[in-house]
Amino acid sequence: MATIISNRRVAEGIYVMHAAGRFEAKAGQFFMVRGWESYPLLSRPLSVYDQDEQGVKFLYKVAGEGTELLSRMQAGEDVTLLGPLGNGFPAAAGRTALVGGGIGVAPLFYAARHLEQADLYLGYSVEVYEEYEFRSIGHPVTIDCGGRVLDLVDFDAYDTVFVCGPEPMLRAAQIKSAMSAGKAAVYVSLENRMACGIGACLVCSVGCENGRKKACSDGPVFRAEEVVLA
Amino acid sequence: MIETHLNTTCRIGGVTFKNPVVMASGTFGFGKEYGKLYDLSRLGGISGKGVTLHPRPGNPGIRVYETPSGMLNSVGLENPGIPAFLEEECAFWETLDTVRIVNLGGGTVQDYVEGARLIDEDSNRRQARGRRAVDMIELNISCPNVKAGGMAYGIKTCVAREVVREVRAATTLPLMVKLSPNAEDIADMAQMCEEEGAEAVSLINTLSGMKIDARKRRSVFDNLYAGLSGPAVKPVALRMVHQVCKRVTIPVVGMGGVSSAEDLIEFIMAGAEAVQIGTYNFVNWQAGADLVEGVERFMIEEGIADLNEIRGIL
């Protein structure tokens, strides 16, 4: 059990929850989160937005019944957290770009905080959120609203590119990566549906070059060229 | 353990389970992941992820969809194949102090038989070295997400009989047959298993279900139908377990939506020897440990010293 320190709305349908506890999460890892007993049945996988001495933060979007319930929770109430889970982002080498689309910007904040150099590219569809927080890290931030943020990134200008966003954006990143000069190591972070979160149930399984892998325990970050997106 | 004088043991096919809490196939991997979260020796047993002779990639597309009080899954028996299972997972299984059950799936009768034979041979080799990794086979003739020859074996008793008979002949390990609630007559199916020499039956597998994305005007699942599990199916499962217990004399392992110690006790009262826990593992990652403790607490509160006092009382 983790007690909610704060749970604030930052944009239409977008919230930041701060839950108390001592965790040693790495950027790109996630927790299975639930704020209820039995229903809805499944916990929700939420990636780590930030972590401080008080606890862990989640930047999340209300997408269904579970996240709706989470959004209505108040400071002082308890959530159940299983994690940190998954492997998170690998060590970034050289010049690095962090590219997020929609709620996919969430894991990039904690990643950016731990990089000496990184260029952030954040794409939003309707409303920009957490801009001040992202800018306060101190790295260059490029923001796009309503367009295709990926088009603003020159992969060849980087050694490492991390991309997190909806699946069409990840597929576009794969194509862009394949068509670039190939200098950059491009990684994508998947947002698959999960049940157990720890690698036991195989509902989040993804096709990879060497057979199936689990988005939860083998990922959620994969090399762009290794994963087959449907 | 709360009290040591409580008798929670069960016996199936000559194998003793320390308690009736068995993890259900497909929800627990081969135990490694949950073994990092709690002590698996607390459990009565583990039924591993279903394995088939040849590796299977499983189904494409979305594999899970939450429903009111339940979930639909369409994993489609993704597994590394029996040779890889024996090679890579059984060393871990050798170390476990709980009953280890291989869940055997297949596409053709030949695949089932060859798979059973490989498991049997491996078991004999280990035993010759004084080791053991597998205590029992759970024959899965009922996966709703995999079809063989246009029809799952679990529907018609006459079709299933051949698989059970052939697999029975191919292994000396205790054999438990996992039945489908989609069977034409599940009690007939159970009786057939008893006639063919199975030591036990387990039920229910998932109920065949469907979800349509109304906005996209198509099924959520590439495979069209998917398997429903969770609390939503419990009343149906309990009724079927009760019916089967009335029909057969071999032990019955009940499952379907168990989410509390009282749920589990209901299955025992319906006549089940042991109970499997599936979807609840996703609700509560320490489901197994909690239920073992919960059953003991229930027994103390109700003044029950031995589960046999309440087994099959209805």
In a domain, A44, yes or no: yes
Q: What count of other Cβ atoms lies within 10 Å of the Cβ of residue B88? A: 11
Pick from B30, B77, B285 the residue to mutate for testing the A interface (most A CBs within 10 Å).
Answer: B285
Query: Does residue B69 contact residue A39 with C-beta atoms inside 8 Å?
Result: yes
Query: Does residue B187 contact residue B244 with C-beta atoms inside 8 Å?
Result: yes
Binary contact (B282, A38; C-beta < 8 A): no
Q: Give the tens place of pLDDT for each residue, A107-160.
A: 999 999 999 999 999 999 999 999 999 999 999 999 999 999 999 999 999 999
Q: Which residues of B touch A42 (CB under 8 A)?
A: 64, 66, 71, 282-283
Residue A22 maps to which CATH number?
A: 2.40.30.10
Q: Does B281 touch chain A (CB under 8 A)?
A: yes
Least confidently predicted of A75-79, B3-7, B83-87: B3-7
Q: Give the tens place of pLDDT for each residue, A17-61.
A: 999 999 999 999 999 999 999 899 999 999 999 999 999 999 999
- Distance (Å, rounded) from C-alpha B19 to C-alpha B297? 13
Per cent of chain A over pLDDT 90 is: 93
In a domain, A100, yes or no: no
Number of domains composing chain A: 1
In a domain, A96, yes or no: no
ipTM of the complex: 0.92
Range of the domain at A46: 2-85
Binary contact (B282, A42; C-beta < 8 A): yes
In a domain, A46, yes or no: yes
Binary contact (A199, B66; C-beta < 8 A): no
Look at residue B4 and tell me whether its pLDDT is greater than 70. no
In a domain, A59, yes or no: yes
In a domain, A187, yes or no: no
- Distance (Å, rounded) from C-alpha A229 to C-alpha A223? 12
In a domain, A212, yes or no: no
Q: Does B19 touch chain A (CB under 8 A)?
A: no
Q: Give the tens place of pLDDT for each residue, B11-57.
A: 999 999 999 999 999 999 999 999 999 999 999 999 999 999 999 99
Q: Give the tens place of pLDDT for each residue, A55-69.
A: 999 999 999 999 999
Hey, what domains does chain B have and what are their CATH numbers? 10-58+77-209+230-309 (3.20.20.70)
- Distance (Å, rounded) from C-alpha A5 to C-alpha A20? 6
Confidence of residue B150 (pLDDT cuts 50, 70, 90): very low
The sheet with strand A205-208 has its strands ordered as A211-214, A205-208, A227-228
Q: Give the tens place of pLDDT for each residue, B66-120.
A: 999 999 999 999 999 999 999 999 999 999 999 999 999 988 899 999 999 999 9
pTM above 0.80, yes or no: yes
The verdict on whether B143 is a catalytic residue reads: yes
Q: Give the tens place of pLDDT for each residue, B260-302.
A: 999 999 999 999 999 999 999 999 999 999 999 999 999 999 9
When the pLDDT of each residue in chain A is averaged and rounded to a whole number, the result is: 95
In a domain, A101, yes or no: no
- Distance (Å, rounded) from C-alpha B45 to C-alpha A164? 40
Closest CA to B63 of A170, A219, A202: A202
Binary contact (A38, B33; C-beta < 8 A): no
Which pLDDT score, from 0 to 100, does residue B202 have? 98
Residue with tokens 């499997």: B276
